[in-house]
Amino acid sequence: MQNFTFHNPTRILFGEGQIANIGAHIPAGARILVTYGGGSIKKNGVYEQIVKALEGRTWFEFGGIEVNPHYETLMQATALVKEKNIDFLLAVGGGSVVDGTKLIAAAVYFDGEPWDILAKNAPVTKAMPLACVLTLPATGTESNGNSVITKAATQEKLAFGSPLVYPVFSVLDPATTFSLPAKQIANGAVDAFVHIIEQYLTYPVDAKVQDRAAEGLLMTLVEEGPKALAEPNNYAVRANVMWAATQALNGLIGVGVPQDWATHMIGHEITALHGLDHAQTLAIVLPSLMNVQRKQKSAKIQQLGRRVFGLEGSEGELIDKTIAATAGFFEQMGVPTKLSAYKIPETSINTLVDNLVKHGYTSLGEHKDITPEVARTILQGAF
């Protein structure tokens, strides 16, 4: 196990009806800005629950934060925060709303152009407290300090992270996910699955606690993911998926172990070039990456096969079966695992590799051995 520091100060309020309890965790006298997205919270009853929970409090709202939240939109929200003397942010929605609100929290106190936080890694030295009511289990942003923002003007999609933007509290009410479209639940489960894999399917370092924790979360998603699609109103199933997705990226399974993230970086280029959903790109890249890295990741792929999918066989057989089981899970969730499923021409592969180079991603993976040529082989295998 490698040395590590772990600190996650977010308070989790989990379960049906927990929105009613948020008032107790927002400072008395706070001037609150409720942020949200395209308005689904006004259809599924969540908005009414928020209104009721904030009765008697001073609050304002800012809707319309996009999927892949736009910097430009968030700067409008930041102006509103200053205008209304807001001092507490409450993000209500999925990962995009939470990520966007993290940038607002940092931008309010930032001296200069806040885009520098993303483009130049300008340090965040102060942030407004923020909390969230999560309505879509997927990214884990409800319990970490990470955020991904898109500048619409230039189509740049960049990330920042700071311990100052961990939500103070996050409400996870599985009942708020009942009305989600199947595609969003499927994408969320695939996203969480790959988050775990990026921290787990790496060179083994004898971190048994982290391995077992990761395997437990993977098994939960494999067992409960398809049920979440088949029985959208099954509370217990949605609860397991939601809690698993949070723990997939709250830092706990990633401490003390090498991390990969090559699937994410290659996937980002596919989203940028062809507009596929983030999870769709992960489902395409991961199985091919596992195949291309079958030697380097041999021990861990076999462990995944044995422990998570209950497979057996000689080394080569077991690796093949494990890759097939991983792709099979994605397909079972309704997420295709080949570029060709999206009618993307094979000639795009050159552009995708060129863009990786252009963005400086020339040595990806926990061994830094995924060069542009290896990435090309991965994309060819995913075609």
Angle, helices 372-381 vs 262-274, to 10°: value is: 70
136 contacts 122 by C-beta, under 8 angstroms: no
Token readout for 119 is 């483009």
**In what helix (H) or strand (E) does residue 14 lie, and over which residues does it extend?**
strand 11-14
Q: Residues, the chain, total?
A: 383
Considering the complex, what minimum distance in angstroms separates the CB of residue 196 from its own copies?
Answer: 12
Instruction: Give the integer Cα–Cα distance in Å for 191 and 242.
Output: 12
325 contacts 318 by C-beta, under 8 angstroms: no
Residue whose CB is less far from its own copies, 82 or 208? 208
Considering the complex, what minimum distance in angstroms separates the CB of residue 368 from its own copies?
Answer: 23
Residue whose CB is less far from its own copies, 307 or 338? 307
Considering the complex, what minimum distance in angstroms separates the CB of residue 142 from its own copies?
Answer: 12
Considering the complex, what minimum distance in angstroms separates the CB of residue 220 from its own copies?
Answer: 5
Of the candidates 332, 330, 331, 312, the residue with the CA atom closest to the CA atom of residue 322: 312
Considering the complex, what minimum distance in angstroms separates the CB of residue 343 from its own copies?
Answer: 37
Residue whose CB is less far from its own copies, 198 or 224? 224
Residue whose CB is less far from its own copies, 212 or 358? 212
Residue whose CB is less far from its own copies, 176 or 288? 176
Instruction: Give the integer Cα–Cα distance in Å for 284 and 267.
Output: 8
Q: Give 158's contacts (C-beta < 8 A, 6+ positions apart).
A: 118, 119, 148, 149, 151
Residue whose CB is less far from its own copies, 130 or 217? 217
- Footprint of its own copies on this chain (CB under 8 A)? 1-18, 206-209, 211-213, 215-217, 219-220, 223-224, 236, 239-240, 243-244, 247, 252, 255-256
Considering the complex, what minimum distance in angstroms separates the CB of residue 215 from its own copies?
Answer: 7
Instruction: Give the integer Cα–Cα distance in Å for 235 and 105.
Output: 33
Identify the DSSP state of 241.
H
Q: Give 218's contacts (C-beta < 8 A, 6+ positions apart).
A: 193, 196, 197, 200, 304, 308
Instruction: Give the integer Cα–Cα distance in Å for 283 and 191.
Output: 9
Residue whose CB is less far from its own copies, 37 or 174? 174
Considering the complex, what minimum distance in angstroms separates the CB of residue 16 from its own copies?
Answer: 7
